[in-house]
Every structure is written in structure tokens, then in C-alpha cells.
Amino acid sequence: MEFNHISVLADEVIENLNIKPDGIYVDLTLGKGGHSKRILEKLSENGRLIALDQDQDALNAAKKNLSDYPNVTFIKSNFENIDKVLDQLEISKIDGALMDIGVSSYQIDNAQRGFSYMHDGPLDMRMDANNELTAEKIVNGYSLDELQEIFSKYGEERFSKTIARNIVETRNKQRIDTTFKLRDLVNKSVKTKEVHPEKRVFQALRIEVNRELEVLEKTLQKVIDYLNKDARLCVISFHSLEDRIVKNTFKELEKDCICPPDLPVCVCNHKAKVKIITKKPITASKKELKENSRAKSAKLRVCKRI
């Protein structure tokens, strides 16, 4: 299956990165390289792009897509390792970075990856195929309480207890090992007229498998520490949990003092690191939505190092 993916909010990202031709930039979620290609088009031969992705299929597709650009360095890694990657490359500061933290169209549409409730396939959901934990292992191995917790916390699912209980009862008779088996079980567990009520459970499992929220806030902090003065970080998120983390992290990093309000003087010595450029998130234009319906939930937030 060919790795196809349309980069969302590409014009808005390039505008907000404020690219310097000879700068060093990092794409922390390379995908097929759509955003990276737009960055590279703005760079001179002295500029440099560091491109990370934990999905080997994505890296293979991006290397082919960006084969005309000699000034890009490809790294197979989760973005949580950005500090180690830059240290190994002997890069102390960068001039901008991008995080597009959604699932690619290829990952969704490839049934063998197990991300989608629209295609029957193995219950996998790993972005990095070398990881040991899969959605199947979670569904068939986590306790009732653990399942309920991740469905509630990561999927904001109000029927989390019922779904978890039915999963445990079902797996005692037969292993739940495909996306359709899980989809059908969830549909039988909830009493709603909602189309695709299983989407929240699938989201929760994907987040748990890939530790998505766990590493997001830490990575934001790490990236900002590597930014040069006036360098920008652009982050595209696709659901409320991600967006909330980005929004709140930016807000905390914009504060000078984080002492409790009842203290008469500041004792924390905390200094603001960023200025928020987007007071409200940037969303897709009507034109983009017509061309790519998956951009509907995308939100872009931008901050600048001070």
C-alpha cells in the first residue's frame, strides 16, 4: 500500500514558522514529508532540516518524496527523544520546529496497522512496529479497572465501565484480536444513536499504545529549550486532549511567576520562555476542508521563544 497523506494547514505552518533561509529546523512528525518539503523549499543550501518519525513506512516514503533535497537528516525516533537526537548531531539551538501529532491517512487506511474501525484488521495501533505493546495486548490483558480508566481518561467515554466489563466477559470466551471484533462489541455495549460510538475507545487505545499524551508535554518543554530567540514552535493537534495540553503548556511557559497568588513576593524565580502567537488556534479554511475533510478537527497553535 502506497503511503499517502495530505499535510494539513501547510500554508499556515510555513507562514508562522517565519523561516530563515540558512536556519536549522526540525519536523518532529515527518509523515510522508509534506510539511518538510514546504520547509525545505524555503531553505538555502546552508539551511538544514532534521526530520523525525517513529514509523519506518513513513520514513521510507519521505526519503523518496524528499530525495531532491540534500540538506535533510532523517532520524527514526519518537519525538520524545529530540534532546538526545540534537545532542548526537551536535546541534545546540534550532530556528523553528513543527509537531503534527495526528495519525496519518496511511496509518488509518492501512487495515494491517489496526488503527481504524472502518477496516477489519489485526488490533495493533503501533506507530512504531518495534514496540511490544499493541491494542490487542491491552484489550485482552488489562484488568477491568485499567480498561475503564483509559477509556474514560483518553477517550472521555461515558460508557467506559460497561464497555470494559463486556470486553472482559467476551475475552474469557474468545480472544478479541481484530478491529471489527472490538468495534462490534463496543456498539453492542452502548445505548446511543451516535454514528461510530466506537471512535472514542479506538482513540483511547491508540493513545495508550503509543503513550501519546504522556510524552507530549515533556516534548514541548524540551523543544522550547532548544529554540533560538524569536524561533517558533508550531503544533497541530486533532483532538481536545492534545490541544488542551498544548494550550496549557504554552500558557505556563508564558508566565513570569508561577508562585501561589497569596504569596506577597515571588520566590519561584520562574521566567517566561515564550510568547504565544496564536491566542486562538488556527483552523482549516473552507477551501482546505473541501479538499481534505480530515483537516476538520485540526488546530494549530504557535509560540515564539523570548
Annotated binding site for S-adenosyl-L-methionine: 33-35, 53, 79, 100, 107
C-alpha cell at 298: 485540526
Cβ pair 179, 123 in contact under 8 A: yes
Q: Cell for 33?
A: 514529508
Give binding residues as ranges: 33-35, 53, 79, 100, 107
The strands making up 94-100's β-sheet, listed across from edge to edge, are: 72-76, 48-53, 24-27, 94-100, 227-237, 299-305, 274-276
Q: How far apart (Å, rounded) are the C-alpha atoms in residues 154 and 239?
A: 10
Q: How far apart are CA 145 and CA 86, in angstroms?
A: 40
- CA atoms of 258 and 266, how far apart (whole Å): 8
How far from the centroid of its chain's Cα atoms is residue 211's Cα? Answer: 10
* 100 φ, ψ (degrees, to nearest 5): -115, 95
CA distances from 137 to 134, 146, 155, 165, 287 (A): 5, 13, 18, 16, 41
The β-bridge partners of 303 are 233, 276
Q: How far is 129 from 151, CA to CA, in rounded Å?
A: 23
The identity of residue 84, as a single letter, is K
